[in-house]
Structure 1
Amino acid sequence: MTPPNTERRHPRSTGLGALDANAVLSLMDDEEPVVTRAVARARPALAAAAVEMARTCASGGTVAFVGGGTSGHLVLQEVAELGPTFGAPPGRFRAHIASSSLHDPAVVTAREDDGEAGPAAVADLGPGDLLIAVAASGSTPFVLATVRNAHGIRTCGIANNPDAPLLAEVDFPILLDTGPELLTGSTRLKAGTAQKLALNRITTAAHVLLGAVRENHMVELRGTNDKLRRRAVAIVTDLMGVDEDRAREALDAAGWHVRSAVEHLAAP
């Protein structure tokens, strides 16, 4: 059986095991443009996914991500950042992952070969929701079974192989064709990097469409710790042209929600 691109040996790295550290990094540097080119080629599909995510959120729907292995870890990281960055309400975004390297039952749904846990995890989703499935191979049983059982739910799939079954099963297919890895089969490298870039693009563009960005600032940010409060003060001073004391006063009155503080300062 012919292996998928992500599992093939890279012809330029057959001597990888004999290289010194500098040579290893040089080889990786030379290969990195493959990632950015793959993501750039997928721009129309990424934009379509961002529009669909924004539409789902605007109508109060849920966006569920599923992934296994490296893809699962990336999904979990992306979802964890959306609340602090964009003020996403609890439950709007959620992650269902399969991983053998994590042991916290709060985040590990199943093993990657489990074809039953994924569908069960998203059984409560409906026509107003969106499912985003991520798998380098595009054939991970946990991920593929989830998509195949997502009846009546809009689906988006991200994979790194042109013939990935996942891409044939979804409404919004996104191919990130990063080819063979320098370390054979280690999709935490180019494939994972491309997936991270793709997820960043989809979620950021979606929240721009949702109005969570003003100029280039995160206006839905809430100052829940010292770092975020400093950032909130900087945003309000920059957007409203007030000094830091006035910004802090407005933020304090607004519960440290940037948009509310800005609207307070803008009121006549």
Structure 2
Amino acid sequence: MNHFDKITEAPSKYRHLEQMSLQQVLQHMNGEDQTVPQAVASVLPQIEQLAEAALDCLLAGGRLFYIGAGTSGRLAVVDASECPPTFGVPPGLVVAIIAGGERAITQAVEGAEDDAAQGWSDLQAHNVSDKDFVIGIAASGTTPYVIGALQECRRRGIATGSITNNPGSPLTQEADFPIAVAVGPEFITGSTRLKSGTSQKLVLNMISTSVMIGLGRVEDNRMVHMQLTNEKLVDRGTKMLMERLQLADYEQAKALLIKWGSVKKAVENAGV
């Protein structure tokens, strides 16, 4: 393993946080947070390459996997779980795997991220194949659970990407399409749920959203395939349908929407 500078563990440039006023803490955190989108902007070409490769796999009938531990795994779970309600895709199309399983979503599972063999085992439980695309996520880029999973994917010809916050990390070297967002030292030294986590959330948003647009799950700027899981979404869908079909009657549009289950299907079956 080549030596590299682990930026995510570098000391915070702020000292004696406990002596700061609440206003100072918030101002400094906000100032640091404002640097994150700039760091993401600097790796847009890498994000584009990864998203394009992932889209190719999905268009050919494959799936998108995220695999991570701790904060990175939880962010992966959030992104994957939001794809079905937002874009109307089946739950198995975007799959998030977190070290330690479902329990790790709400509490730390001791030692889970250190098991280099378990990541691949967890992928195998989903029958991962060379049709799929696997993205390993780890702020440090050194998490054995994630690295081991990507190594096994590479041996079996499964396309991989990675999202880290340490350029030159072992994880970036195992991925076909690495993304390393160098956000710099955290406000609290080593607390990668802060800027690192924010950058991962932004990148995951970009990947899943651009891929779903590429799959035809968005029309114009609307979520025409969104699931009608609550009254807010039914109302939004009804208004979208009124606009698309030029209907003046809210209740008529709502009845059509509920009958067909999505804006897309309601429009198609109205002959538009």
Q: Check whether TM > 0.5.
A: yes
CA contact (8 A) 1:69 1:100 kept: no
Q: Distance in 2 between matches of 1:250 and 1:265?
A: 9
For 2:82 and 2:205, the matched residues in 1 are separated by 10
**What displacement does 1:55 show?**
1.9
Change (3 A) 1:164 1:65: same
Distance 1:84 1:266, change over 3 A: same
**Could you tell me how far apart the structure 2 residues matched to 1:199 and 1:87 are?**
18
Aligned with residue 144 of structure 2, among 128, 141, 166: 141
Map of 1:251 onto structure 2? 257
Stretch of structure 1 that moved more, 70-79 or 231-240: 231-240
CA drift of 1:8 comes to 0.8
Q: What secondary structure is seen at the aligned counterpart in 2 of 1:122?
A: helix
One-letter identity of the residue aligned with 1:253: K
Alignment equivalent of 1:214, drawn from 207, 219, 241? 219
Deviations 1:148-179 (A, max 9, x none): 11121000100000121111111111111111
Aligned to 2:60: 59
Q: Is the 8 A contact 2:116 2:145 kept in 1?
A: yes
Asked if residue 179 in structure 1 is aligned to residue 180 in structure 2, the reply is: no
Q: Are the aligned partners of 1:110 and 1:117 in contact in 2 as well (CA < 8 Å)?
A: no
Contact 1:158-1:173 within 8 A present in 2 as well: yes
Query: Who is 1:238 aligned against?
Result: 243
String of CA shifts for 1:97-125, please: whole Å, max 9, x gaps: 025994579xx897111112111111321
Aligned mates of 2:97, 2:34 — CA distance in 1: 30
What residue ranges of structure 1 are gaps of 5+ in the alignment? none
Would you say the 8 A contact 2:163–2:178 is kept in 1? yes
Q: Is residue 228 of structure 2 the alignment partner of residue 226 of structure 1?
A: no
Query: Are the counterparts in 2 of residues 98 and 109 from structure 1 also a CA contact under 8 Å?
Result: no
Separation of aligned partners in 1, 2:48 and 2:4 = 32
Q: How far apart, in 2, do the equivalents of 1:136 and 1:10 lie?
A: 16
Q: Residues 241 and 263 of structure 2 are in contact (CA less than 8 Å); yes or no, is this contact kept in structure 1?
A: yes
Q: What is the deviation of 1:15?
A: 2.8
Aligned residue in 2 for 1:164: 169
**Aligned counterparts of 2:244 and 2:221: Cα–Cα separation in 1:** 10
SS of the aligned residue for 1:84 comes to helix
- Counterpart in the other structure of 2:7: 5
Residue by residue over 1:133-152, the C-alpha shift from the partner in whole angstroms, topping out at 9 and shown as x without a partner, is 10000110111111011121
Total equivalences in the alignment: 264
Match status 1:130 vs 2:155:
no
In the alignment, is the contact (CA less than 8 A) between 1:35 and 1:178 conserved in 2?
yes
Q: For the Cα contact (< 8 Å) 2:172–2:178, is it kept in 1?
A: yes
Which range moves more in the overlay, 2-11 or 26-35?
A: 2-11
Shift of residue 227, structure 1, vs aligned partner: 2.6
Does the aligned pair in 1 maintain the 2:84–2:227 contact within 8 Å? no
**C-alpha separation between the residues in 2 aligned to 1:110 and 1:235?**
48
> 1:83 corresponds to which letter in structure 2?
P
Secondary structure at the aligned position of 2:114 is classed as coil
- 1:41, distance to aligned residue in structure 2 (A): 0.8
State how far apart, in whole Å, the 2-side matches of 1:101 and 1:261 are: 36
Cα distance 1:143–1:109, how it changes in 2: closer, same or farther (>3 A)? farther
1:131 counterpart SS class: strand
When normalised by structure 2's length, the TM-score is: 0.90
TM-score calculated relative to the size of structure 1: 0.91
Residue pair 2:86, 2:225 contacting (<8 A) in 1 also: yes
Deviations 1:202-245 (A, max 9, x none): 11111111111111100111213323212211221233322322
Query: Which one-letter code corresponds to 2:80 in the other structure?
Result: V
Moved over 6 A (4+): none
